[in-house]
Amino acid sequence: MDWSDSPDQATFRDEVATFIKTRLPARYQEGEDGDEGFTGGWQADRKSDDATARDTAVSWADALAEKGWVAPHWPKEYGGAGLSVMEQFIYNQEMAKAAAPSVGGMGVSLLGPTMIVHGSDEQKAEHLPRVLSGEVAWAQGYSEPSAGSDLASLQTRATRDGDDFVINGQKIWTSGAQYADWLFALVRTEPDAPKHRGISFIVMDITTPGITVRPIVDMGWNEPFNETFFEDVRVPAANIVGEENRGWYVGMTLLDFERSGISGAISYERNIDRLLDYAKSEEGNKHVRQDWRTLRHEVAERHLEVGVLFNFAFRIVSMQNSGMVPNYEASVNKMFGSEIHQRLSRTGTKVFGLYANVWQEDGPHAPMKSEFTRDYVGSVPHTIFSGSSEIQRNVIATRGLGLPRG
Amino acid sequence: MDLGLSETQELLKNSARDFLENESPEQLVRDMEEDDAGYSPELWSKMAEQGWQGLLVPEEHGGAGFDFLDLCVLLEEFGRALVPGPFMSTVLGGAVPIMSIGSDAQKAEFLPRIASGDVIFTLALTEPSARFDEEGVQAEATVSGDEVTFNGTKLFVPDANVADYMVVVGRSGNGVTLGIVATDQPGVEVTQLQTIARDKQAEVKLNGATGQLLGTDGGGWAALEPVLNRYTVAECAYLVGLAQMDFEISVDYAKERVQFGRPIGSFQAIQHKCADMVTDVDGSRFIMYKAAWSLATDQPGDDTQMSVNMAKAWCSEATRRVVAHGQQIHGGIGFTKDYKIQLYFRRQKRAELAFGDADYHRELVAQQLGI
């Protein structure tokens, strides 16, 4: 066992850190972490009304593209950096330490890798370069109003008509669809088949007639996701990725892809450090409750939990690096990480007492720009999306521990 | 970075598991609860043949020369099998302090005998104040040349009933001072306690008990800190193995026990407990190994201290959650003496308390965070 870098790993870490230090645009340098794959700082910036935001998004994407680091995990033949598992991990660690936004959103993280495995040569040639260049941003259409945790019960219907499919139905929680150019979706192509067997994975231009994207305002006044409606939307049959009616398995390729969750651990650790620095500072002294040190054990417990979370992330990459395929371990990380996130934001609000009421970011009464209060609200869906904590525990128990399904 | 076991460690783990399944079965664990000595001399000798008492001892003194991380791999198996007896007392309380501060003569005198299983050691640290810190050491030490004489009362001394020697922690005019004290002298009076784990802990009254000075007069606490860190992490390793086994027994039970016409493990209420158990067992394992690695590879002192306190804070509480879930999953049968799960529940408490529980170590973490 070894928690330190090998000489090669240290060299690569140094290369990434130096690159970020010299090339990360000023706008991102003091930024908070983008909620990766959720609202997407970069994805929103590139469509922003603010010209500086747009330029920053482009220049950061260009800088990463020079190194092939827009898609560090893609194979080289598709324009990725072909980094090893350990190098990807180090890359992600250093990006997270600098709170640097990743580029390319779901096109890079989800669509690309799925297409590389299941797509035709034509599909790859059409879509992958435009993901890497930042020309096209993608959104994901999986969930529906009646298909959440039970995703496979989805009902959005795609009916064959000549060379096209005609799509009718509704998706929900389509993150970032209002900034996206293309959509990948799971649709029902064979209604009479068992529910997992009648689904296809299909991609479409989001400006195709009949698609309506309506942002949903969340309980924190943000608009991270949307309802997306389909009314007689004609999509070429050639846009199906992988085999028709096998879309469930195409779509699950990446839900199964074990992410280590290291960026979460790094940002929580940084938030604890910043909270403590602030609480002990002269300015912070005005906002912390007078008896905040009674919370010392609670804060220490958060620090312990983050230490455990780091090790869970290390375990995933360590397993992958030695050729093992993580099983229940990725579910442990997702569940544990999202629950820590909520506890940490709660602890932060406790430290500020009445000042935890403040939502506004400016003015003399907003501790740390009210980020803990905002996170107290903003962390609520983290135990729900991408497989709720309950679903994760089911997966751990059945797939991991072999307990019988209910 | 690599969180896997080395080939040597895998080998050690597998051979220990096989050995202990045969040599330290449940019946032995139960028998030793009722036994005055609390250990099997036959098993003790066989363990020495495996080279375990001398695992950390350098080869020149008859040991195997493994490192502390390797020892933790072995101790996980001890926790799994609930091995009764004075193994940790002897290795962590005897061999480790002698290896780190013993004179050449003391190393030559004691280490080969520890490695061969010929002597049993223990560490007499805590007193009626039940403190683990330097101020808690009040027993009087009087140094005269290479000799030291102790007066005072030590409490919760593990395996004092069978120890041949104790490393006694006392206080002279110069500060905390250690000595190696033979137990077969009139100045040592051992009174056994009955404990929750039915292990052997004792009150030890020292009335002019004399032994060899270990280290320097007044230099005892600085010498002891790395020893206590190792002992603390060793208890974590034991807890991890114990919790792992409690978890496995409970999951197996949930697969077999049928109510309402189906295995109770098919109910989400039980499944979610099991998911939390594996999360806690795994979380404990890695935070323990991180601390063990820090100690074994001599990482910077502040980092190492933090990782040790984090490990004991986490393992103490997380393994308590595990054994509590284990009891709940078993229902009524788990509360009976006959069924094995209670053996784990009671022993978890002993190790949780040893060298400070979660609250104690969380406080130290908070201090290091500057709160």
Q: Which CATH class is domain A7-103?
A: mainly alpha
pLDDT value at B48 more than 80: yes
Tell me which of B80, B115, B150 is where a domain ends.
Answer: B115
* Structure confidence at residue A29 (pLDDT): 81
Nearest CA in chain A to B312: A304
Residue B70 has pLDDT above 80, yes or no: yes
Weakest mean pLDDT among A318-327, A387-396, B161-170: A318-327
List Cβ neighbours of B353 (8 Å cut-off, separation of 6 or more). none
Is the pLDDT at A39 greater than 50? The verdict is: no
pLDDT of residue A30: 64
Q: What's the rounded Cα separation, in Å, for the pair B147 and B135?
A: 23
Cβ neighbours of A394 in B, within 8 Å: 268, 271-272, 275
CATH number for the domain harbouring residue B266:
1.20.140.10
* Predicted structure pTM score: 0.94
Helices (H), chain B: 7-23, 26-34, 41-50, 68-81, 87-90, 96-101, 104-115, 220-256, 268-296, 301-330, 341-353, 358-368
Provide the 8-state DSSP code for B321.
Answer: H
Looking at the fold, whether B260 and B161 belong to one and the same domain comes out as: no
Q: Are residues B169 and B199 in the same domain?
A: yes
Do the chains contact at A404 and B274, CB–CB below 8 Å? Answer: no
B236 and B357 inside one domain: yes
Q: Which residues contact A160 (CB under 8 A, 6 or more apart)?
A: A189, A237
CATH number, domain at B99?
1.10.540.10
Question: With pLDDT > 90 as the criterion, what percentage of chain B qualifies?
Answer: 100
B267 neighbourhood in chain A, CB within 8 Å? 406
| DSSP secondary structure, A141-184, as one string | E--BTTBSSSGGG---EEEEETTEEEEEEEEE--TTGGG-SEEE
Q: Which of residues 343-362 of A touch B (CB under 8 A)?
A: none
pLDDT tens string A98-111: 999 888 889 998 99
Pairwise CA distance, residues B133 & A129, whole Å: 63
The answer on pLDDT for A363 being more than 50 is yes
Interface test with A, best of B3, B66, B73, B248 (most A CBs within 10 A): B3
Q: How many CB pairs under 8 A join A and B?
A: 151
Annotated catalytic residue: which of A32, A126, A244, A258? A258
Q: Are strands B165-172 and B175-182 parallel, antiparallel or unpaired?
A: antiparallel
A7: contact with B, CB 8 A cutoff: no
Give yes or no: residues B204 and B279 share one domain.
no
Confidence grade of residue A255 (pLDDT, cut at 50, 70, 90): low
| Three-state secondary-structure class, residue A246 | strand
pLDDT digit string, tens, across residues B266-278: 999 999 999 999 9
Judgement on whether residues B108 and B125 belong to the same structural domain of the protein: no
CATH number (3.40.190.10, 3.40.50.80, 2.40.110.10, 3.50.50.60) of A138-247 reads 2.40.110.10
Q: Is residue B1 part of a domain?
A: no
Query: Kindly report the CA angle at A167 between A165 and A171, in degrees rounded to 5?
Result: 140
**Contact yes or no for B371 and A406 at CB 8 A:** no
pLDDT at residue A34 greater than cutoff 50:
no
CB A85 within 8 A of CB A45: no
Answer whether residue B340 is part of any domain. Answer: yes
Give the CB-side neighbour count of residue A228, counting CA atoms within 13 A: 33
What pLDDT score does B66 carry? 98
Domain carrying residue B137? 121-218
Q: Do A311 and B290 touch (CB under 8 A)?
A: yes
CATH number, domain with residue B166 = 2.40.110.10
Closest CA relative to residue B325, chosen from B237, B249, B235, B236: B249
Is 60 exceeded by the pLDDT of residue A31? no
pLDDT tens digits, B118-161: 999 999 999 999 999 999 999 999 999 999 999 999 999 999 99
B326: in domain: yes
Q: Is B270 on the interface with A (CB under 8 A)?
A: yes
Annotated catalytic residue A122: no
Boundary (domain end) residue, out of B218, B239, B267: B218
pLDDT tens, residue by residue, A42-80: 878 888 888 888 888 889 999 999 898 999 999 999 999
Nearest to A314 among B3, B314, B371 (CB): B3
**B23 band by pLDDT with thresholds 50, 70 and 90:** very high
End-of-domain residue from the set B218, B236, B256? B218
Q: What is the mean pLDDT of residues B251-257?
A: 98
Q: Which of these ranges, A321-330, B71-80, B221-230, B248-257, has the smallest mean pLDDT?
A: A321-330
Output the CATH code of domain A258-400.
Answer: 1.20.140.10
Which of A283, A273, A269 shows the shortest CA–CA distance to A352? A283
Contacts of B362 in chain A (CB under 8 A): 297, 300-301, 304
Q: Considering the domain boundaries, does residue B53 fall inside one?
A: yes
pLDDT-based confidence at residue A258 (cuts at 50, 70, 90): low
Q: What is the pLDDT of residue A36?
A: 40
Which of A104-108, A311-315, B18-22 has the lowest average pLDDT?
A104-108
Query: A50-59, A159-168, B193-202: which has the minimum mean pLDDT?
Result: A50-59
Would you list the domain boundaries of chain A?
Answer: 7-103, 138-247, 258-400
Same domain, B136 and B97: no
A82 at interface of B, judged by CB pairs closer than 8 A: no
Count how many domains chain B has.
3
pLDDT greater than 60 at residue B22: yes
Which residue from B minimizes the CA distance to A274?
B369
Least CB–CB distance from B265: residue in A293, A296, A404: A404
Q: How far apart are CA A335 and CA A384, in angstroms?
A: 9
Q: Please tell me whether residues B68 and B24 are part of one structural domain.
A: yes
Strand A225-236 versus strand A211-216 pairing type: antiparallel
Residues B55 and B180 in one domain: no
- Phi first, then psi, for residue A113 (nearest 5°) are -60, -35
